[in-house]
Amino acid sequence: MRWLLIVTTLIVAFLLKYLFRRQHNNVCKTFEDYYTNRDTNPNCYNNPDVDLTIPEIVINRGYPLETHRVTTDDNYILTIFRINHGKENITGAKKTVLIVHGFGLNCGCFVTIGNKSLAFVLADNGYDVWLGNYRATIFSSHKYLNKADDLFWSFTLNEYVDYDMKNMINFVYNATNRKIVFIGYSLSTAMFFTYSSKHVQHSLEKINVNVALAPVFNIREWKSVFSYIPWNTLTKYIGTAVADYKVMNSYPLIQKYLCLPYPFQLKTCMLFYNLLEGWSNKQLDPETLPVSVIHNVDATSFKVVHHLMQLFRGNDGQWYDYGTKQNLEIYGTRKPIKTNLSNMKIPTYLLSANNDAISTPLNVELLYKNLTNAVKYKHVVEDDDFSHADFFRGKDVFLLVYQHIIKFLEDFK
């Protein structure tokens, strides 16, 4: 018995040491290089961002970082980071930009691909950059509750819109006294469209222009394999079991050990993203993917996921369906209210990609058409392999997307 224990322990220890052996070099020029002995491969080097936190990444790259706390009207405390000028260019920023992340992410997605990262590109081009974070990300807390309380996790997309979005915009506007350039990615584009359709006056006072990366609003035409799931049935079924659970609360480490150590793991891991977001790995960047895999995943609530499921089957712009009884109390109608995009009046620039299985060309077309009262512009990425996640981690995202944003903002008056 004792021998068995000792032998097992030795085997486990050996496996752990072998599986998770630590090499000094953690990124390479190609994925082939990545799976060699990186410490002796001249194409590999140490990317310090792998081991740093998000604020450390910003500071380590030589940017000024301010940390602000915003208390929402329903008592969540959100962190907004500010990079108020570039590394060299400290001559008074020209415009305030607020960038907000997508589903299951945090603001890390805008600083984790080195000097190509959106936040750094904007700061270096003279913008005062603010990075928002929704409730329940690692950068958030609550005035009275803590993350172990079920109630902390009791929120839907309604709260992202009415509190997080509105309160963050309020805060940044108040702090800089300048109209904001809003840049949203994926889910945040929908949150912004919803916010500016409902809080019309508020948005007109505080927002200069809206830049939507991989815009989603009409998701009925998505092409992802996941679109074949019978969401209506599933949602009804789940409806009876909805509770205040947390989702993806400790995924970063899981992703690290699940996706990185071996080539087959990276492939299977990316297979998941391919199925969900679009079929291509051409834009995966071996020099930064280890950083994105570790940093670009964060928590949300089960009710947010449930809300998304309600939207997946064509209920575009619908607020959370609480069930007839609660809907009557909250909305005054048996069915949840729907966002009317015609109310939205903020000038909008849509940037989308043809290989994006979520923000598909057809979905973007519907959205564009429905923005009947806003001045609108659009750009389709000139690379037919470009997909959903490439908007924050694509190898060529600077050339294909961010450059166009800079140009657009220079021309936009």
Binding positions for ligand NAG, rule: CB under 6 A: 89, 91-94, 115-116, 121, 124-126, 171, 174, 317, 340-343, 366, 370, 398
CB 95 within 8 A of CB 103: no
Verify whether residue 154 is a known catalytic residue.
no
Closest CB to ligand NAG among 293 and 367? 367
Q: Which is nearer to ligand NAG, 76 or 171 (CB)?
A: 171
Residue 183 CB, shortest distance to ligand NAG, in Å, is: 17
* Strand intervals (E) in 254-306: 300-301
| Residue keyed to tokens 């009262």 | 373
Which listed residue (124, 352, 388, 390) is catalytic?
Answer: 388
d(CA 211, CA 231): 30
Q: Report the nearest approach of ligand NAG to the CB of residue 399 (Å).
A: 8
CB 179 within 8 A of CB 208: yes
C-beta of 134 vs 402, nearer to ligand NAG: 402
In sequence order, the β-bridge partners of residue 81 are 67, 131
CA–CA separation, 67 and 145 (whole Å): 22
Looking at beta carbons only, is 357 or 364 nearer to ligand NAG? 364
Q: What is the nearest approach in angstroms of ligand NAG to the Cβ of residue 189?
A: 15
Cβ pair 407, 306 in contact under 8 A:
no
Q: Choose, from 285, 316, 321, 356, the residue flagged as catalytic.
A: 356
Helix (H) or strand (E) holding 387: none
The minimum distance between CB 36 and ligand NAG, in angstroms, equals 23
The span from the CA of 285 to the CA of 41, in Å, is 18
Residue 114 C-beta: closest distance to ligand NAG, Å: 7
Instruction: Tell me the closest approach of the beta carbon of residue 210 to ligand NAG, in angstroms.
Output: 17
Q: Between residues 185 and 368, which has the closer beta carbon with respect to ligand NAG? A: 368
Task: List alpha helices for 331-412, DSSP H.
Answer: 361-370, 390-393, 397, 403-411
Query: Whole-angstrom Cα distance, residue 281 to residue 270?
Result: 8
Catalytic, 224? Answer no
Catalytic residue of the set 140, 141, 186, 224: 186
Q: What is the DSSP secondary-structure string of 360-372?
A: -HHHHHHHHHH-T
**Shorter beta-carbon distance to ligand NAG: residue 273 or 408:** 408
Give which of 99, 336, 166 is closest to 239, Cα–Cα: 336
For residues 124 and 159, which CB has a smaller minimum distance to ligand NAG in the complex?
124
Gap between the Cα atoms of 239 and 234, Å rounded: 8
Q: Is 101 a catalytic residue?
A: no
Find the shortest distance in angstroms from Cβ 93 to ligand NAG: 6
Instruction: Tell me how far apart the alpha carbons of residues 112 and 255 are, in angstroms, rounded to a whole number.
Output: 16
Q: Residue 128 and residue 82: Cα distance in Å, rounded?
A: 7
Cβ contacts of 253-261, under 8 Å, gap ≥ 24: 255/293, 255/294, 255/297, 256/293, 256/294, 257/20, 259/293, 260/290, 260/293, 261/19, 261/20
Query: Which residues are the active-site residues?
Result: 186, 356, 388
